[in-house]
Structure 1
Amino acid sequence: MFDGEERERVRERLLVLAAADPAVVGAAVTGSEALGAADRWSDLDLAFGVDGERGPVLERWTRTLYEDFSARHHWDLPSGPALYRVFLLPGWLEVDIAFTPAGEFGPLGPAWRTVFGPTVPRPHGDPPSPSHVVGLAWHHALHARISIERQRHWQAEYWISAVRDQVIALACLRLGHPSAYAKAAHLLPEEVTAPLHATLVRSLDDQELRRALDAALTALAHELERTDHAPAARLRPMLAELADG
């Protein structure tokens, strides 16, 4: 796999190319590197401010990544005014480049270091509300139970794991950590994480799926108590119904 030196070489080459591209009027390093928190395994995150029509710029840069950096694949992730084109390079180096109209090029949070070009103030995105995460959790729990009853065992495993993901997100929100992609799960206390071991599905037989779902429902109920007693009181009997039915 790639190492930190290779990531730095690729970053510097891309920034030199960006500075020479008349359509790229701004560039920034984003993600963990902008915060000084990159480690051996971090990917490469850049943002470009694009002047004019974005389509030709995307096409040109995609060709460059394939021809000059031997990219193996790419895919797109739209986010507000930006389009993130995500490239896979040899050695499993992931390169994420956000192509943003110049008039909206600017930081959405602290993980931003401007390299060149003007930036504009942009509203920072808010984390999801606990109520939203709670809603996802009970939705996923319901569909886990329904999948078990339908004998759709792989789907049941998917939804049970999804319940666990929302328990982690809810705990992260409560403790002031980032809640997306379990990025702060390693910061959670053992009182939260220890019961989650029992939520791991060990096989796809009916009894095991029901056991793992019960464990996920218990962990969710406990986290609800820590987060907000009002919805906890309303949802606890509903969660028990899913477990006992």
Structure 2
Amino acid sequence: MFSAAERTTIRAELIALAERDPRIIGAALAGSAARGTEDAWSDIDLLLQLDPAADEPEVVADWTDVIGTRFGTADTLDVLAVGVRYRVFLLRSSLQVDVSFWPHDHFRATEPAFQLLFGAPNPPTKPAPLNTDTAIGMAWLYALHARSATARDKPWQASMMLDELRNRIIDLKCSRAGLNSWHGREVDQLAATELEQLAATRAVNLTPEDLYASRLLLVDLLLNEVALIDPSRAARLEPALAELRRPAR
């Protein structure tokens, strides 16, 4: 397990590397370090702005070699989002290091946690709000698949569909409470009564009875959330959701 001191040292070395690299013209910290909420389990989130003339694959390859040689990389994962490559490094110490490589015109704050280290970022943007229409539609779709999976004697598929249904309900609850449900970041800040409702929906076993009990509670929670967002849509959905409350045959 890495230590907080080790994390601080690695972050400082990465920032110094960015300052020395002529292909990097801007850098910032994100995540808990930028929010001032680091704890023993926090990772490193470093954003790098590339010079317009920089060759992105070359920069990524060079940084990957340096991090692997200097700190010991166990594995990497690339996540691409809106033209930005997020390379996630898993160090042998289990420390997660996220280094994102931003094209010159993309570098900006996309969430409140953004601590500029050097450079000139573009105007900030705000995270897109939850599309509640899509969340509701995906929720009842997962409920349908949970029912059919149970009827087909596919308990693991049914359990997975119920988990996805629950996640969409969590998204709706968090959106209503002004919380960020992305990767579960602020789900634990929901009211205790809301969390108790969600906890009660977990199937104890993969039996048809437990899966049905879970679906029953989740469908009720879904209908309640829809009614709070769009009562007319809830009224339209009620007959179909009533069918989903019946035991799978």
**TM alignment of 1:116-195, pairs within 5 A:** 116-195=118-197
1:108 is aligned to 2:134: no
1:145-191 deviation digits (Å, cap 9, x = unpaired):
12112222111111101111111110110011112122111111133
Partner Cα separation in structure 2 for residue 195 and residue 187 of structure 1:
14
- 212, 225, 230: which one aligns with 2:227: 225
Cα deviation, residue 122, structure 1 = 4.2
What is the aligned partner in structure 1 of residue 58 from structure 2? 56
Q: Which moved more, 1:126-135 or 1:171-180?
A: 126-135
Question: Which residue identity does 1:103 align to in structure 2?
Answer: D
Question: Which residue identity does 1:84 align to in structure 2?
Answer: Y
Question: Which residue identity does 1:179 align to in structure 2?
Answer: S
1:30 is aligned to 2:30: yes
1:88 is aligned to 2:97: no
Q: Secondary structure at 2:73's aligned position in 1?
A: coil
Question: Which residue identity does 2:82 align to in structure 1?
Answer: G
1:204 is aligned to 2:220: no
RMSD: 1.5
User: What are structure 1's unaligned runs of at least 5 residues?
Assistant: none
Question: Which residue identity does 2:151 align to in structure 1?
Answer: E
Question: Which residue identity does 2:78 align to in structure 1?
Answer: D
Partner Cα separation in structure 1 for residue 81 and residue 95 of structure 2:
22
Question: Which residue identity does 2:3 align to in structure 1?
Answer: D
Q: Secondary structure at 1:84's aligned position in 2?
A: strand
Percent of paired sites with the same residue:
34
Partner Cα separation in structure 2 for residue 3 and residue 229 of structure 1:
51
Cα deviation, residue 59, structure 1 = 0.6
- 97, 100, 116: which one aligns with 1:98: 100
TM-score of the two chains, using structure 2 as the length reference:
0.93
Partner Cα separation in structure 2 for residue 211 and residue 113 of structure 1:
46
Question: Which residue identity does 1:185 align to in structure 2?
Answer: V
Is this contact kept in 2: 1:26–1:118, CA < 8 A? yes
Cα deviation, residue 22, structure 1 = 1.2
Partner Cα separation in structure 1 for residue 139 and residue 152 of structure 2:
20
What is the aligned partner in structure 2 of residue 18 from structure 1? 18
1:177-211 deviation digits (Å, cap 9, x = unpaired):
11212211111113322122221122222222111
TM-score of the two chains, using structure 1 as the length reference:
0.94
Q: Which moved more, 1:220-229 or 1:148-157?
A: 220-229
